[in-house]
Every structure is written in structure tokens, then in C-alpha cells.
Amino acid sequence: MSSSEVPPAGNEHAVDSVSADDNARDGNGAEENTAEPLRSVHTSNLPEILEHLGCSIMVTTYQAGRLVMLRAQNGILNTHFRSFDKPMGLAVSDNRLAVGAANSIWEFHNLPAVGEKLNLDSDAPLTMRHDACFLPRVTHWTGDIQIHEMAWVGQGTEAELWFVNTRFSCLCKRSGLYNFQPIWRPSFIKNFMPGDCCHLNGLGLRDGSPRYVTALGETTAARGWRENKKDGGILMDVESGEVITRGLSMPHSPRWYQGRLWVLESGRGGLGYIDNETGKYVQVIALPGFTRGLAFCGPLAFIGLSQVRETAVFGGVPIAEKQLEERTCGVWIVNLETATTVAFVKFEDAVQEIFAVEVIPHRFPELVNEEKDLLDGSFELPDHVLAGVPPKMRSSE
């Protein structure tokens, strides 16, 4: 898809989104009331962009304890919320989705038949019919490792889930025996110790393998990264162990896309790439928030923005020194070919910080993590087992 095929920029006056959080149910099927308001506004063209691409967006906000699904619904953005305990990392591969939470990793599988069942039981219009339904399959307890970005490495059922273990300053895989299996650490980190020395945070793949990481410092002391957080950030090559770029302001979300290594310089609200010749960061656009969470589709970049405050963590960082009204929280869509913002959704009230952003190749997905009746009656089984189940029972189950 080229820039000429992208729907035109939306009106600057924003349109209220439709929140589906008030339809969420607890584990017993009862209506669940949200304590804090969850409201958003968006540019008028954002639903058209999602419909044009045939996708939706998933966002995590650990501060509000929500996973947010952004879906197009009759020209309006449907914002669907699911509750988790401090959700951060997201990883999508084939029909699997992983969510990193406060002390665990949740793995979900897409069961299209369950989505079809929900459609049969619903009077919703065709534009709100589910084309995917993610149900929990595995919960892996990691302990409080301050899990950050995650990625599936490999294909199909053989894919392994890698994740950033920020507390131990390393990359890990899930283990059937341990809370986590350390695989790689920066060369300046001599031991696996729970000190959050460099605040390792971002993980990027290249040709399907873990290749790039970002960190907020190059230190060995516990929480030592805080002393030079304004411009002490680094981007590293996992294969060689070398630092590619220094002097970054709180970098996040390294991504290899269309022959370039992209990264967010969060402390300055920037999206940019690394020059292949010099290793220098080249800013493409500055946005009105702490940039964290990055995904791509065609010529478009989907970027998470957080409304950070002047605190011990963010004090002295350029973006935190701006007036609060100049910073916002949401997802901004940037056309890489023109380096311009083409659309956005802005969260208000309860949602103030975002971590991960992922483009999901489904128009109207559902994710279920608490509805007991639905989970009790839905099964994922081998084909030879399902072959013996009568069709009528298959559809009902």
C-alpha cells in the first residue's frame, strides 16, 4: 500500500469513540462496572483507515490495568477494554497472542469457532461480527521481573516466546521448569542480578531472530540508569553484543522494517531511524507525548504516546519538561513516506500511559479472559478428536 492509497487525514475536531468496557463481564457472567471513566476521542478518518487495512489495534496500559482493542464500528472507533494486572508486553504470531503482566505471561489462542458462536448469540450488525476470538491457553508465572517487550521467535507451534526481563537486565525464554530461562545479557552486565541496572526494555527481530535491544543506560549498578536518563540511552546489536547508538533519550521499541532500523526516542517524543553508515539517530517526526509502543502496516507507523509527569523517573527528561497540556496519551498514526500524522486516538481520564501497540490482522477481534461460562464450554482439540464429535455439538461447544 502506498501513501496515495491511505485515506486522507481526518478532521482536526475529534469524534467520540464508542467504549465497549461497560459491556464487560466478570468471571461469573455478571456486569462489571468500571470504577474510573475510560473515554477516548479520535480523528474522523481512523475507523476508515482500519477498515481499509482490514485490521484492528491492541494496546496495553499498565497504569490503568487494561488491554485495549481499537476496532472500527460503523464509522466510529470501538474501544474495547479487558482487565489485566499491569499489562505491558504484547506478542502476536499466527493465531497466538501473549500478554506480559505484573508477574505472569498469559498466552491466548484464536478459536474462530468461538467467535462464530458469539455472532450467532448476538443481534449485533454485520460490522460488529467477530472474525477472531482469543481464549486463554497457558498462564506462566514469572515473578515480578518487570517484563517489558516480547516476541515470538520461530514459526507455528515451534515458535518460542522471548521477552525482556528488565529486573534482571537480560533476554529470556519461557521455561517448563523455571520462572524464566536467561538467554542473553549486555556485555557490561556481568551477572544475572535483580537490580534493573540498565533498564533493558525494547526487543526487535530481524529475519525472525532477536537482533536489537534498547536500554536506558550502560551501567552495572542497581538502578544506575537513572543518573543519566536524559541522554544515556543505547541501542545494541544482540548478535555482536556491540552498542550501535549512544546518546539517546530513553529509547524504546527497536524495529526492523522496510530495510531500516526504527526506534522511538521516547524522552523527546520522537520517531526516527538509525543511519546505516554512521549509526546516528535520525528523527523523522516529533509527537506530543512520551513515545513508547511501535507497530507498522504498509506505509503507516502506529505509535503509542504517554502523558508522563515530572517524577523521579521522568524528571529532567525533555518531554517531561513540557507543559502538561502539551503532552497527551493515545495512539498516533504517521505516514512514513510523508513524515506526517494522518490520524490519532486520544485517551482521556483514567488512561494516561501506554506501553505496547500491535496491529492485529482481524477487523473485529474479541479476547476473553474472565467469562467462566464461555471458557468452560469452549475446547481446542486435535483434528482426529474433533472428527468424532457430531457437527451439531461442535458448533454448540
Domains assigned to the chain:
3-396 (2.120.10.30)
Handedness of CA 208, 214, 218, 224 (dihedral sign): negative
143: phi then psi, degrees, rounded to nearest 5: 80, 175
Residue 115 and residue 94: Cα distance in Å, rounded? 17
Q: So what's the pLDDT on residue 6?
A: 66
Q: Are 45 and 8 in contact (CB under 8 A)?
A: yes
Residue 33 and residue 334: Cα distance in Å, rounded? 35
pLDDT (tens digit, 9 = 90+) per residue, 16-63? 776 665 344 333 333 344 456 678 899 999 999 999 999 999 999 999
Distances (CA, A) of 363 to 78, 90, 122, 130, 367: 11, 18, 17, 8, 13
What distance lies between CA 34 and its chain's CA centroid?
Answer: 22
375 has which bridge partners? none
Query: What does the chain come to in residues?
Result: 397
Q: So what's the pLDDT on residue 317?
A: 85
Q: Which of 261, 267, 281 is nearest to 229 (CA)?
A: 267
pLDDT (tens digit, 9 = 90+) per residue, 225-279? 999 999 999 999 999 999 999 999 999 999 999 999 999 999 999 999 999 999 9
Q: Are 73 and 87 in contact (CB under 8 A)?
A: no
3-state SS assignment for residue 73: strand
Question: Model-level pTM?
Answer: 0.89
- Splitting the chain (397 residues) into consecutive groups of 10 residues, what average pLDDT does each group show? 61 62 38 59 95 96 95 90 96 94 97 81 66 94 97 90 98 96 96 95 97 97 94 97 97 98 97 96 96 97 88 74 78 97 92 95 92 76 67 53
Q: Are 208 and 199 in contact (CB under 8 A)?
A: no
Q: So what's the pLDDT on residue 323?
A: 66
